[in-house]
Amino acid sequence: MFNKRTRIKELLKTEPTGQEVTVMGWVRTFRNNQFIALNDGSTNNNLQVVLELGKFEDELLKRITTSSSLKVTGNLVSSLGKGQKMDLNVTTIEILGDCDAEKYPLQPKRHSLEFLREIAHLRFRTNTFGSVFRIRHSLAFAIHKFFNDKGFVYMHTPIVTGSDAEGAGEMFRVSTLPFDNPPRNEDGSINFKEDFFGRPTNLTVSGQLEGELAATAFGEIYTFGPTFRAENSNTPRHLAEFWMIEPEMAFYDLEDNMNLAEEFIKYIIMYAMDNNREDLEFLAQRLADEEKQLPQDKRSEMGLIEKLEFVINNNFERITYTEAIDILRESNHNKKKKFQFPITGWGMDLQSEHERYLVEKHFRKPVILSNYPKEIKAFYMRQNDDGKTVAAMDILAPGIGEIVGGSQREERQDKLEQRMKEMHIPLQDMWWYLDTRRYGTVPHAGFGLGFERMVQFVTGMNNIRDVIAFPRTPGNAEF
């Protein structure tokens, strides 16, 4: 059997007693024609593979270059050198794949993250991205485990849809019509009846509306899938393609929703802390080294692991939008005109700088904001009795700003239809959504968590493009 191998991560946990093992991986370095640092992606730690001098042909040794792949069998013994507890003394070695060291873009040195984005197909092989993507995997698994253990049903909502859940209109059109000469109606508009689906369709911006349909049958469901925004934002926080987790719960109000979201965030962070400690410690040191180059006032007040432990061990601060506006308006930051977007008063949409001020400067902990003005929120949010606000909530995290957005949904048909008319959303196109309010409506709520922002928060990476394998951004769809 070819693949009878032991992963290096598991091997490094064992005690070397001369046992014979087979490992396979890629060469990180090869020194003195004798010492190979071999890595198989299961951990950032390499296994030192030792070749006996004079035992192997020169032609074979010349082919052992950085990132060539090897199958090695040998005996695991205690290391005499510093820096590792074991060596693999080689009995047989096979080169599975050669690598031209002169042309290979990843040399054994420090590369900038900008450069690594240009070779995203190879950046997984670095320690930084090895750690990031192992943590991303753990967070994804923890998400499914959290909801499964609570009895939620996992729903796959459509990627191609005819609805715009957010009402923002920033969507990617899906069409098989010819670009250069699409069929047109008499008034000159495009005749979508001749398109594949017989109507205008787009890539989904959210699975929420379909999730609500399922929640009114199963009680509690969640979605976890790709979403798309045709938003021309070149920032470290935005992607055109990203993953969203969207639970929807029947018989939940706004407070239930906030409680679940806080528990959920703490759970998945704790899972990564328990299962990826080594990778987190590596990224924490990387972040600390990076911040040494920054002025003191730009450095984080907590290290990465300290920040994650703080989030797990403290209750999130809960305030209303109105209270937040008052805090921001009276802040020295605002009075000294340090905000790029000044606080103009109640009703304004908060920007990332405002959210981060509340989290990082004022409360110094994650914050849940609730009861926003209805004019700046989506049509489906439950209208409060004051006639001005809706039962919405956002969770704000240090370093990022908004990480969760959610609300209690408007379950009253008359109120929902009135709001849809005000926002010019055609009722006839949403007949299926309104049916849930006609046939046994219930109070219900839900939220959305941007997965990449969560990965960003846990790994300490500054740019969202560095926590997804192949980032899709304006002007960039490489790989």
Residue 43 is predicted with a pLDDT of 97
Task: Tell me whether strands 153-154 and 220-228 are parallel, antiparallel or unpaired.
Answer: parallel
Residue spans of the domains in the chain: they are: 8-97, 125-170+205-466
Nearest 5°: CA angle at 392, between 222 and 238? 70
**Class in CATH terms, 125-170+205-466:** alpha beta
pTM score, two decimals?
Answer: 0.94
Label residue 189 exposed, middle or buried (CB < 10 Å: 0-12, 13-18, 19+): exposed
Residue 14 contacts by C-beta under 8 Å, 6 or more apart in sequence?
76
**Distance between CA atoms of residues 250 and 240, nearest Å:** 30
The contacts of residue 16 (CB under 8 Å, 6+ apart) are 76, 77, 78, 79, 85, 86, 87
Residues of the chain short of pLDDT 70, as ranges, are: 1, 164-169
8 Å CB contact between 459 and 282? no
pLDDT score, position 149 = 98
For domain 8-97, is the CATH number 2.40.50.140? yes
Task: Note whether 8-97 and 125-170+205-466 share their fold.
Answer: no
Per-residue pLDDT at 166: 62
Q: Would you state the pLDDT for residue 297? A: 74
Residue 288 and residue 285: Cα distance in Å, rounded? 5
Question: Which residues, at least 6 apart from 200, have a Cβ–Cβ distance to it below 8 Å?
Answer: 162, 173, 192
Integer angstrom CA distances of residue 11 from 22, 85, 120, 145, 245: 10, 11, 29, 27, 35
